[in-house]
């Protein structure tokens, strides 16, 4: 089965990276997608496009780079979700409508709204780690590309504005040393971020939890808001250690 991985952006659809990953015999086929939308993204419109794409392709795992909920009151932290503390994310999602630093507020709010819109279309946030998916489940999995690179022990991509062609080439080559990747084209920065995050979703789809690491707490709906949630990252293959 294929999975869909998305590197979210909230200022323009062209900045959203999308990749479809699927095992095909001994290859992981990576289809790089350009969203056929333009202008300022709308959570509802984006959710409808992503859900429709997944239904058409019979995809039941959708990986999204962005917070899925706010901080739980009793998680033991002052300003962030547990997964953000564990992975040292730059954005700290506090209780509803509070984000640090404040310049991340637009992205965080957009991301949570996109998860909520997908939920209305029949998707559910990943509620438990190391459990096989049900045959009719359609699951949302939160990713964080920077930690995906780290968990694979590959130097993370620089910020988009600072990334050179050589950076994209070298990171892709390192990924291809670990995984049998076959791409439909040359990935952009956003598509490569989606690709590296999507590797965890591919393992989850196949119930190979030993190939993943999970950070955070289960999501919970409290006081009219979703809170906490897991971030799932791929692990370096055991074969690479030999």
Q: Which of 232 and 242 is assigned the larger pLDDT?
A: 232
Structural domain boundaries enclosing 186: 3-241
What integer pLDDT is reported at residue 182 of this predicted model?
Answer: 97
- Please answer whether residues 209 and 133 qualify as being in contact, where contact means their C-beta atoms are separated by less than 8 angstroms: no
Per-residue pLDDT band at 135 (split at 50, 70, 90): confident
Give the residue ranges of DSSP H helices in 88-209.
Answer: 105-120, 145-151, 165-178, 189-205
What integer pLDDT is reported at residue 86 of this predicted model?
Answer: 97
- Model confidence pLDDT, tens digit, residues 138-155: 999 999 999 999 999 999
CA–centroid distance for 194 within its chain: 7
Average pLDDT, the chain: 96
The CATH number assigned to the domain holding 79 equals 3.30.420.10
What integer pLDDT is reported at residue 241 of this predicted model?
Answer: 58
- My answer on whether omega of the bond before 7 falls inside 30° of 0, hence cis, is no
Q: Which DSSP helix (H) or strand (E) runs through 94?
A: none
- Domain count for the chain, please give it: 1
**Is the pLDDT assigned to residue 242 strictly greater than 60?**
no
Q: Which of 180 and 238 is assigned the larger pLDDT?
A: 180
**Is the pLDDT assigned to residue 240 strictly greater than 90?**
no
**Is the pLDDT assigned to residue 36 strictly greater than 90?**
yes
């Amino acid at each position: 089965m294929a999975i869909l991985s998305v590197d979210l952006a909230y200022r323009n659809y062209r900045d959203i990276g999308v990749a479809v990953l699927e095992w095909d015999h001994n290859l992981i086929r990576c289809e790089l997608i350009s969203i056929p939308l333009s202008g300022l993204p709308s959570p509802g419109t984006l959710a409808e496009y992503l859900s429709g794409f997944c239904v058409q392709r019979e995809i039941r795992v959708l990986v999204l780079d962005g917070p899925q909920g706010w901080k739980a009151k009793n998680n033991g932290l002052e300003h962030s979700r547990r997964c953000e503390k564990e992975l040292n994310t730059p954005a700290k999602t506090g209780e509803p409508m509070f984000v640090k630093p404040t310049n991340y507020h637009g992205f965080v709010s957009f991301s949570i709204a996109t998860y909520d819109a997908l939920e209305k279309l029949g998707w559910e946030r990943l509620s438990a780690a190391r459990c096989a998916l049900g045959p009719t489940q359609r699951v949302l999995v939160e990713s964080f590309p920077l930690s995906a690179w780290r968990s694979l022990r590959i130097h993370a991509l620089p910020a988009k504005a600072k990334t050179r062609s050589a950076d994209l080439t070298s990171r892709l080559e390192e990924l291809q040393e670990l995984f049998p990747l076959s791409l439909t084209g040359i990935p952009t920065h956003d598509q490569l971020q989606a690709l590296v995050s999507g590797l965890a979703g591919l393992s989850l789809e196949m119930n190979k939890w030993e190939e993943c690491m999970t950070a955070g707490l289960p999501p919970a709906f409290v006081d009219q808001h979703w809170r906490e949630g897991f971030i799932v990252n791929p692990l370096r293959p055991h074969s690479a250690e030999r």
